[in-house]
Homo-oligomer: A and B are copies of this chain.
Amino acid sequence: MLGDVYHLFSGGKDSSLAAWILRKLGYEVRLVTITFGVLDNWKYAKETADILGFEHEVVRLPRELLNMAVEMCIEDGKPGRAIQFLHEKALEYVASRSYVKRISDGTRRDDKVPFLDLRKARSLEDRFNVAYIRPLLGLGYKTIRELANSIFVIEERESEKLEKGDYEAELRYMLRERGINPKTIFPSRHMQSRVVGIKDDELGRS
């Protein structure tokens, strides 16, 4: 084993595939799901983590960060800046632990947000003295789809109807609390995925 990597994990297709790849590479993968203490949607990520056989930890970040993100959503009328903000804070929080040497996530080549450009990625590594590993960065959507479909049983639904351990669920809830319909902020036909099983033949790969 090469050592620990702390991997931001929602239970979705992308973060599950990235975790699976990290394990294949020989790392000891420790999944981290972020919560702001508003909902218990982290439990869906935990379910997936258990199914895939990974260690899993729920990390609570300050509610103030979620509030700031809600403001960004309202100001912009769209969620991009807020999700980018929360993801950067999550990475920094995990990276700031003294024993963490490697952090990771499931961001992809074709993602707009969350996404750290080369400058931001290197800055994160330098500020916290960690390696930031993104196993999906060099993969297009076709490759991610064929890999994920060959390994996982995946549930796909519209965002609002799918519960998983991402930032979106708590953002939606907080918007509703503020009397704002989340549909006015989040794109309406935004499909999300959650990994609910692993295919039998996956274990046969070497």
Is A134 interfacial (CB-CB < 8 Å)?
yes
Q: Are the CB atoms of A138 and B147 closer together than 8 Å? A: no
Contact count band on A = 20 to 34
Give complex CA distance A121, B132 in Å.
22
Q: How many copies does the complex hold?
A: 2
Residues of B near A107 (CB, < 8 A) are 138
Within the assembled complex, what's the spacing in Å between the Cα atoms of A2 and B24?
16
Chain B, Cβ-Cβ closest to A18: B138
Judge whether B143 and A133 touch: CB under 8 Å.
Answer: yes
Q: A142 to B2, alpha carbons, bound, how many Å?
A: 12
Given A21-B25, A26-B205, A131–B150 Cβ distance below 8 Å? no
Complex Cα–Cα for A206 and B25 (A): 9
Binding site for B on A (CB under 8 A): 2, 21, 24-26, 102, 107, 109-110, 118, 121-122, 125, 131-140, 142-143, 146-147, 150, 205-206
| Among B26, B102, B142, contact of A131 (Cβ-Cβ < 8 Å) | B142
Counting chain B CB atoms within 10 Å of each CB, the highest count among A24, A25, A110, A147 belongs to: A25
